[in-house]
Amino acid sequence: MAEFKTEVQELLPYDRKQYLSLKKWYGVSFQLPGVFEGKDIGLDLYLNAYEDWFKNIINQPDNKHQWIVNHDYTDVIWFPNDDKTLVSLRDLFKNNNIPNTFIGALIFSKDDLLKFTRDLISYPHAVFNQKEILYNDIAISNHKIPFVIKISGHLNIDLLSTDKELLKKIVNSNSSSYFNIKEYKGTQL
């Protein structure tokens, strides 16, 4: 089952300040057509497009190491409200006697991460369940791989790595005509 850790920095397999500045990082954004042009695709379409895609990415690394889920830019409370959103994730907190105000990282086995996929990939968009209000993005990383999956409230998912060849391999094996793939500046896969 999941663990809850308050000391995030020591767990991450990367230098968070370097990652946030994107120095020495390569990145690719997987976007549904029209999202950044203002098209309202809705959470259901987003989940239908990304859920299996995300699970495929998590299943690719051949290791038994834990996955770390933390807020992207700064550590904040996980649930700033008591809305009836993200029921599975909120139940995880409740069943482990963790308050909604917990600040830190969630540590998952691969199987548990896959079990909570739907709530995790919709988290920044769904916490408030209002189009106008997005919550903090989250970053999902594996303890031993220089790779980060960034879940955005803008209904897209970005993949980042300090290893350009690893990123290229993951992007190539997960590309689809369903997504617009946009490289971060300087990535050039």
Q: What are phi and psi of 22, to 5 degrees?
A: 65, 20
Regarding beta strands 26-31 and 156-161, do their DSSP bridges make them parallel or antiparallel, or are they unpaired? antiparallel
Hey, how many other C-beta atoms are within 10 angstroms of the C-beta on 25? 21
Mean pLDDT to the nearest integer, 14-32: 82
Residue 27's pLDDT band, with cuts at 50, 70 and 90, is very high
63-67, 103-107, 171-175 — most confident range: 103-107
Closest of 78, 102, 107, 117 to residue 2, by C-alpha: 107
Mean pLDDT to the nearest integer, 18-44: 83
Distance CA 125, CA 130 (A): 8
The set of residues, in sequence order, having a beta carbon less than 8 Å from that of 167 and lying 6+ positions away, is 26, 27, 28, 147, 159, 160, 161, 187, 189
More confident residue, 17 or 63: 17
Residue 138 has pLDDT above 70, yes or no: yes
Closest of 150, 147, 182 to residue 166, by C-alpha: 147
Q: Distance of CA 64 to CAs 90, 108, 143, 145, 178, Å?
A: 25, 11, 10, 11, 30
In the chain, the N- to C-terminal Cα span, in Å, equals: 37
Please give the pLDDT value at position 34: 84
In this prediction the pTM is 0.93
| pLDDT tens sequence across 171-185 | 999 988 889 999 998
Residue type, 25: W
Please give the pLDDT value at position 177: 83
Closest of 82, 90, 65 to residue 11, by C-alpha: 65
Residue 62's pLDDT band, with cuts at 50, 70 and 90, is low
Q: Give 67's strand partners.
A: 108, 142
Please give the pLDDT value at position 166: 92
| pLDDT tens sequence across 149-165 | 999 988 999 999 999 99
Look at the chain and count its residues: 189
